[in-house]
Amino acid sequence: MSLQTTLTDKSTQAIQRTRAGRLQRLMRSAGLPVASSLVGLILWELIVRGLDIPAYLLPAPSEVAVTLVDRWSYLMVNLGYTAFAALLGFAVALVLGVLLGVAIASSPTVDRILYPWLIISHAIPKVVVAPLMLVWVGFGLKSGVIFVIFFTFFPVVVNTVMGLKSADPDLLHLVRSMGASRLEVLWKIKLPNALPSIFSGIKIAATLAPVGAVIGEFVASNRGLGYVLIQAVGSMSIALAFAAVFLVSAFGVLIWYVAELVEKKSLPWHASQRVQVI
């Protein structure tokens, strides 16, 4: 056997081992969540069937699945409306939250002036404000977008401030002694250090965005999954209501995973993105 053939065989074996390792990691990361979900759905089905629970109280997963298939087009149209409001409000909250977080972390005066108002605004129950939103901004998409901003703004601001303030003081003194400007310190030291914290806030906000859109649709819209949910409960179509809840939850999980994927691509150097070996 020639040296070239031996090297080719070893290279092929290494590639196969790499692929097998990736498949094993995928099975470990996805296998348990999928298995636990299936077990939960089976238990739910058995409990509903075994206890003969009426469908108007708690439909079985199979009934919800049938409703999803039968009303697919209707649900997808309204999911699109909810998703647009959630993504638009989330994008606005992300930009405003990071900018305000930078302002608060950079100026003690701004911190003392604005931070109490942020806490007050977050402490106000959002559901209580929902009827007032109809009076203030009217009926339609604007209400849902504003609610998404209310729901997602706070975690982005707080995590941005925390990340920017956690930069190593010794490193900051060093770069300032070398003549770095405030903008250079922010861009090259503070912001990279704050990215893991900022992404934590983004992932929290991502799961809250669909919730804000749905609550806005409860009171100020005739479209969207929030409207579908209210109408379904009012007409006792509980399987349709569960289908709407499932789609809202699935959309929230999807954008959370998208945010996590962006985090992995943006922070390959961070310890949280490394494979933990125990």
CATH number at residue 76: 1.10.3720.10
- pLDDT value of residue 21: 56
Query: How many of the other CB atoms lie within 10 Å of CB of 208?
Result: 22
CA-to-CA distance for 155 and 132, rounded, in angstroms?
Answer: 23
Q: Identify the sign of the CA torsion 145, 149, 98, 266.
A: negative
pTM of the model: 0.79
Domain check: are 49 and 67 in the same one? no
> Tokens in use for 34?
């999928």
Domain end position, chosen among 33, 53, 73: 53
Domain check: are 28 and 160 in the same one? no
Domain check: are 70 and 43 in the same one? no
Contacts of 170 (CB under 8 A, 6+ apart): none
| Residue 45 belongs to domain spanning | 1-53
Domain check: are 113 and 202 in the same one? yes
Domain check: are 49 and 75 in the same one? no
Alpha carbons within 13 angstroms on the beta-carbon side of residue 93 total: 31
> Tokens in use for 248?
């809202």
Return the closest-CA partner of residue 185 out of 155, 165, 159, 156.
165
The answer to the question of residue 278 being in a domain is: no
Domain check: are 104 and 131 in the same one? yes
Domain check: are 82 and 193 in the same one? yes
CA-to-CA distance for 142 and 195, rounded, in angstroms?
Answer: 30
Domain check: are 267 and 241 in the same one? yes
Domain check: are 108 and 184 in the same one? yes
The answer to the question of residue 242 being in a domain is: yes
Domain end position, chosen among 35, 53, 71: 53
Q: How many domains does the chain have?
A: 2
Q: Is 78 within 8 Å of 138 (Cβ atoms)? A: no
Domain check: are 157 and 30 in the same one? no
- pLDDT value of residue 272: 60
- pLDDT value of residue 3: 47
Q: Is 79 within 8 Å of 247 (Cβ atoms)? A: yes
Tell me if residue 125 falls in helix, strand or coil.
Answer: coil
Tell me if residue 179 falls in helix, strand or coil.
Answer: coil
Burial class (CB in 10 A: 0-12, 13-18, 19+), 193: middle
Domain end position, chosen among 15, 32, 53: 53
- pLDDT value of residue 8: 53
Stated as kind and residue range, the H or E segment containing 132 is helix 126-137
Q: What 8-state DSSP symbol labels residue 167? A: S
Return the closest-CA partner of residue 252 out of 152, 173, 156, 181.
152
* Count of all residues that appear for the chain in the document: 278
- pLDDT value of residue 29: 61
- pLDDT tens track, the chain, 278 positions: 454 555 455 555 555 555 555 556 655 666 677 777 788 888 888 888 888 888 788 888 889 899 999 999 999 999 999 999 999 999 999 999 999 988 888 888 888 888 888 888 878 777 777 777 777 777 777 888 888 998 898 899 999 988 888 877 777 777 777 877 777 777 888 888 888 889 999 999 998 999 888 888 887 778 889 889 998 888 888 889 999 999 999 999 899 989 888 888 887 766 565 555 44
Domain check: are 28 and 141 in the same one? no
